[in-house]
Every structure is written in C-alpha cells, then in structure tokens.
C-alpha cells in the first residue's frame, strides 16, 4: 500500500476534522492523554506558526502524523522550529514509512524558509534521528540537584536562547508578561524538592540570599554547569537538524546555549507558583 504525505491545513479547511483524526490516531496507539483540548493547546492556541503533516493511506485514512512549532532564537536571524509529536499507526509502522514521513515533512519546512529544527526526543527516537536522518546532538541539558539556585541558571551569559513574547507567556501560563520565577514543589524519593521551570536574570540578581527561595528544600533545575556532551543521571537530549548549509556552527555547541525548563513540553506547568 502506497502512503502519501499532505499538510493538514491544505487538505481540510475545517481544522476540527483533521484534529479529530489525529487525536484518534494517537489514542488508538496508546497516547491516552491526547484529547481535543490537548491538541487545541499544542497546535491551535500556540501563538506562533504550527505545521501539521498527515500520512494518508490509499483510502485517505490518517495513519501517521508529525508536527512542528515555530520558535525564535535570539538575535540570530535563524528561522527555527521545534519538532513535536511523530507517530505512525502500528499497522503501518516501519522504518521506511517513518523516514518517508520525516523527510517529506522537512522538504515542506525548507519551502517555508526554515533553517533549523530543534528537538528533545526520547533515546530510542534520538538514535534513529542521528543514525538515519542526519540529525546532530547539540548536547545534554542535565538536571542539577543543589541547595541553591546557581547564577548559571539564567540566560545572561549565554549566546543562544529562546525568546518569549507576551503572547507566549499568555499561552504557557495565562500571564501577560515575563514572570520573575516559575516553580513547582514535589516529592522525589522522599525528598522535598523545589523545581524552577523559569527564573529571570533580574530576579536572580536582586536576591541576596538564594537559599531563601527554597525553604531549605533542594533545588532541581537546569544550569549551564550541567550542559554537557553526555547525559548524567537524568537529562534531556537536545538535538538539531540543519536545513541549510550556511548555519552558524556555534549554534550546535551546547556550551553556547541556555534552555529554560519551561521551554520543554516535558513540564506541564500545572500547579506551579508564579511570582
């Protein structure tokens, strides 16, 4: 059976038709957290451009989906996007169909002028992306479990980071401007932890006693001292796919980057304290 790839918006003028098809596909393949509200949040309400591509069977059934969300890297002129969910129905799932899905979606992104795709894939997907689809490891953004917020937990000294508009903050947290900090508290292995998803440079610089933020709880955060070429006890693998030959090579160096936890969809931002 021959499959074909189409951009969802070009096939259906009514977004609810293809969004329902994608939600059904995901749920039928084990992603029970997917529902219309989940799809609405990630792909419709998102304040920048999104691109959803569908893999169709001969009878026009949606049997695969891959999506990207536009993001903005500060002061680079690089047009970039974040790779989101990629899935093929288990009946059609093989490497050949997966390569077809990814490569043809990338051709569309090139037509739209994108220079770079970024992602934090799981380890199994990361291996395939690297070995077979010409992706590169930028590095690992590893957790730091410490007694205080490190100065290197903010972006002020780094060359590259994701800019966030007021529209982005409204989408992510329902606030109308950049907050001072976003944190959530939880219990991990009987340890009470304060996890900082975001902390602004100005807020950190105004604090004289960093320990006062945590009530003596350990802090779980990302900081530049723990950005490495290899993973530690737990970290996010940060990868890229260059769509142009003229890309600044420094953008592929993990030591040039700052990534906030809140940039990653691995963190739901539920039950957070915003100051």
pLDDT at 10: 80
Q: Where are the beta strands (DSSP E) in 151-256?
A: 181-188, 191-199, 219-228, 235-242
Mean pLDDT for 243-264 is 92
pLDDT at 223: 86
Band of the pLDDT at 112, cuts 50, 70, 90?
A: very high
Q: What is the pLDDT of residues 229-242, one digit of tens each?
A: 887 767 889 999 99
Band of the pLDDT at 106, cuts 50, 70, 90?
A: very high
pLDDT at 229: 85
Burial string for 25-40 (b: 16+ CB within 10 Å, else e) reads bbeeeeeeebeeeebe
211, pLDDT greater than 80: no
Q: Domain spans of the chain?
A: 4-114, 141-226+256-274
First to last CA, the chain: 55
pTM of the model: 0.92
Alpha carbons 257 and 157: distance in angstroms, whole number: 9
CATH T-level topology, domain 4-114: Aminopeptidase (3.40.630)
The closest alpha carbon to 162, from 48, 38, 40, belongs to 48
Within a 10 A sphere around the Cβ of 61, how many other Cβ atoms?
13
Mean pLDDT for 145-174 is 90
**How do beta strands 219-228 and 191-199 pair?**
parallel
Which is higher by pLDDT, 188 or 104?
104
CA 193 from chain centre, in angstroms, equals 23
- Judge contact between 239 and 131, C-beta under 8 A: no
């Amino acid at each position: 059976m021959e499959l074909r790839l189409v951009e969802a918006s070009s096939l259906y003028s009514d977004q609810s038709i293809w969004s329902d098809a994608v939600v059904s596909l995901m749920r039928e393949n084990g992603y029970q957290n997917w529902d219309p509200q989940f799809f609405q949040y990630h792909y419709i309400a998102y304040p920048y451009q999104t691109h959803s591509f569908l893999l169709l069977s001969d009878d026009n059934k949606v049997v695969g989906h891959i999506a990207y969300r536009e993001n903005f890297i500060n002061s680079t002129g690089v047009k970039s996007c974040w790779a989101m969910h990629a899935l093929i129905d288990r009946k059609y799932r093989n490497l050949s169909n997966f390569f077809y899905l990814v490569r043809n979606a990338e051709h569309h992104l090139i037509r739209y002028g994108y220079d770079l795709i970024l992602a934090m894939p799981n380890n199994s997907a990361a291996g395939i992306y690297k070995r077979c689809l010409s992706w590169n490891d930028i590095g690992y953004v590893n957790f730091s479990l410490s007694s205080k917020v490190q100065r290197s937990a903010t972006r002020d000294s780094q060359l590259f980071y994701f800019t966030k508009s007021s529209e982005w903050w409204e989408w992510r947290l329902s606030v109308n401007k950049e907050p001072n900090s976003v944190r959530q508290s939880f219990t991990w292995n009987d340890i009470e932890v304060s996890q900082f998803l975001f902390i602004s440079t100005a807020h950190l610089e105004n604090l004289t006693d960093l320990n006062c933020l945590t009530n003596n709880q350990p802090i779980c955060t990302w900081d530049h001292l723990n950005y490495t070429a290899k993973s530690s006890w737990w970290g996010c693998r940060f990868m890229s796919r260059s769509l142009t030959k003229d890309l600044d090579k420094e953008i592929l160096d993990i030591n040039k980057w700052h990534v906030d936890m809140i940039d990653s969809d691995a963190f739901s931002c539920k039950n957070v304290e915003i100051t």
